[in-house]
Structure 1
């Protein structure tokens, strides 16, 4: 943004999880279509969690879905559990299970993190993903070590974590690597691979998904003035051009519908 401050997050409440998943899927399609119109391809940074999976499921159900050329969509993940490649607990496996085969991706453009049965250590998997990201950036002519992410979807954990960036840990501030290994996650499984906060914040748009009363405390924490990345990692996510907190009303009691949804 040419040195200017990034826009502050905009809160967009929704009447329930179904509405949140449907409207987010519609927003994703609009961004992907616009990106392809601009430069011929589009890139989506996916998250884990139940709401992230529901958004993936909803994509094929939207009337606008065929406006996107899925063979020209690049897919990456903000974090992954270091488990065997086909393990059902992996974010990539859950997304693949939710994906509708009518949306014909070019699988060479889909970039899962290497599993524990494919590479020796999480540190090696992080290095491999870092190199893959840098190669994609070089191929598309993007300056730096990351390709252009048109939109990053993130789920907010009940402890305010995003990706595998957990509160109370100094590695939330890590900026020396775009991707790094987490050896002792407080949430099982303990070993993970995650994008750094600067890498996530390189996305044009960052959308934080928050659903359910169990997330109300976390949402209040990330919205608190003065919250720090170490205290509440979710408070520090900012897209280059847009940051949306896409929430259900039960996670934010008493807030009316967004009067001007788009």
Structure 2
């Protein structure tokens, strides 16, 4: 019986060994100094890191800190002190645990959008231009805008999507996983502010997406428009935005009536 168990163990051992994941390469130990630009990272339940450190368009590490408020340094070029640790999944970028910031160089620009009474902060490489009442932001090498802002009277119905908050205002974010486009609808009193992020053919879409998240978190409305009507979220679907770069779908029992063929955008109509 013992001989049978021993043979069984020896038979299973190679199979178990073949499934062993290779050990990740060792990380530098001790206190390190890294330089780069801090950008926010997408929230995740399966990895560590609230931010990323970018240098020359390349993501170096994820960042986290128990002592430094990294959000205060978003889009700044900094020199950090801390230690490197493996991420939850060793195949992902490691995590740099920041204990101090020793140098800060601003690489951003603040914009005041008077048409919508808001301010936001973008990288200095972003340029702003107004066309037909809309506010557009461009980056070098891309002919079409990567970010468009607009404000229209609200219909009282929020599109279906991820609920977020922008500067204290209820908002919805819709992400098109196929092309990376994002649409954010911000309910501001009786008006709806729309932010359309369209990375298009930008050669480094992940970097541009990180910059967009930082821009979104920087939005501040200069004045508060008092709501004249309470919006319960149960109004008619009529005139709810649909289509567009984010590919917004209409709720069941309605269809999208295209009103802007260039953007393939329209409003929902009841069947």
Fold similarity call, TM over 0.5: no
Q: Which has the larger radius of gyration?
A: 2
Highest RCO, 1 vs 2 (Cα 8 Å, sep ≥ 6): 1
The structure where strand makes up a greater share of residues is 2
The structure where helix makes up a greater share of residues is 1
TM-score range, shorter chain: under 0.3
